């Protein structure tokens, strides 16, 4: 698959027998995951680098074609920040969460549910898939309430982060209906409250909760690092709840990685078979993880 801006990888030096062996090695994984759901949190460089965007779209389409059901949940922090700056508004974060007043919420809805979502839908469709964009409002999917953010140092204190949402419930019926009809759902992390108010929800949290509700085989979280790194910068290929607690306490896991890890751990404890934090800067990162036998990124274990 190619696009005007994308040069295909030159495979002419690989002999037909080697190509056949590569496909044969992928076969056990295709068989294992056929008919299973995989929730993919799409963010970081993979979302902004044109060549990586193309790789991601092709990977998602290929997974669908071999009988796996990908569901994409996307972020859009840098795009939101860019538009806020153009409007002369400075983004503010508390413990990795974006403070979202009413004006910022309008920008979030416009960027996530409009520009970013439609870019991803277009990329997947151009690669030969059939993507459909959804927000949490569609099919009454994501019901939310105002997030009460306890201070990490003093849990008796709460931070007001505005229209940032905590998920009350997810009704996945619209996602399942699309999957059954051969579509690829692309979900923007926006929920709605009792009074029809909109809430900005952390995309990692939405991906984790959606994976749990769908009883996904895998939750794959694309990031801008190789996975979770220790203090010396070494990749930790597996993490247990106890180890995660230690890493949060000593500051190794901090900022935006906190909700990512917390969501991954919740999903792992709630029946999602495998949760992986992987490097979205690597071309075809999704295929390397799903159809390969080498450890890739960090796997979060439930015990």
Q: Is 255 annotated as a binding residue?
A: no
Q: Is 77 annotated as a binding residue?
A: yes
Spatial separation of the C-alpha atoms in residues 44 and 277, rounded to whole Å: 12
Q: Is 69 annotated as a binding residue?
A: no
Q: What are the φ/ψ torsions at residue 131 (nearest 5 degrees)?
A: -95, 150
Q: Is 292 annotated as a binding residue?
A: no
Neighbouring residues of 164: CB distance < 8 A, sequence distance ≥ 6 = 97, 98, 99, 100, 146, 147, 149, 199, 200, 201, 202
Residue 220 · residue 276 · CB < 8 Å:
yes
Of 171, 183, 186, 181, give the one whose Cα is nearest residue 139.
Answer: 171
Spatial separation of the C-alpha atoms in residues 23 and 38, rounded to whole Å: 21
End-to-end CA distance of the chain: 41
Angle value at C-alpha 59, between 57 and 61, nearest 5 degrees: 70
Q: Is the dihedral of CA 79, 286, 54, 118 positive or negative?
A: negative
Residues annotated in the binding site, as ranges? Answer: 76-77, 98, 200
Residues annotated in the binding site for substrate, as ranges? Answer: 76-77, 98, 200
């Amino acid at each position: 698959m190619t696009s005007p801006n994308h040069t295909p990888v030159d495979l002419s030096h690989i002999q037909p027998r080697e190509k056949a062996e590569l496909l044969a090695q992928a076969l056990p994984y295709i068989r294992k995951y056929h008919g299973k759901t995989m929730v993919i949190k799409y963010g970081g460089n993979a979302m902004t680098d044109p060549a990586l965007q193309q790789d991601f779209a092709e990977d998602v389409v290929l997974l669908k074609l071999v009988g796996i059901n990908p569901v994409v949940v996307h972020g859009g922090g840098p795009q939101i920040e860019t538009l806020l700056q153009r409007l002369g508004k400075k983004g503010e974060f508390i413990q990795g969460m974006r403070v979202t007043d009413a004006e910022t919420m309008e920008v979030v809805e416009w960027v996530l549910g409009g520009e970013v979502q439609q870019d991803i839908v277009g990329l997947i469709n151009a690669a030969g898939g059939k993507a459909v964009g959804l927000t949490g409002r569609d099919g009454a999917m994501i019901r939310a309430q105002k997030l009460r953010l306890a201070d990490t140092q003093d849990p008796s204190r709460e931070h007001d982060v505005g229209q940032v949402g905590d998920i009350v419930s997810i009704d996945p019926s619209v996602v399942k209906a699309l999957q059954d009809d051969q579509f690829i759902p692309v979900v923007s992390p926006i929920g709605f409250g009792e009074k029809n108010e909109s809430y900005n929800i952390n995309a990692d949290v939405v991906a984790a909760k959606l994976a749990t509700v769908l009883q996904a085989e895998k939750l794959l979280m694309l990031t801008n690092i190789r996975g979770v790194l220790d203090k010396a910068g070494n990749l930790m290929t597996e993490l247990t709840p106890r180890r995660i607690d230690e890493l949060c306490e000593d500051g190794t896991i901090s900022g935006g990685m906190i909700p990512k890890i917390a969501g991954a751990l919740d999903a792992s404890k709630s029946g999602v078979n495998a949760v992986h934090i992987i490097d979205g800067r690597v071309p075809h990162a999704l295929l390397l993880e799903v159809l390969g036998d080498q450890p890739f990124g960090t796997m979060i274990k439930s015990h």
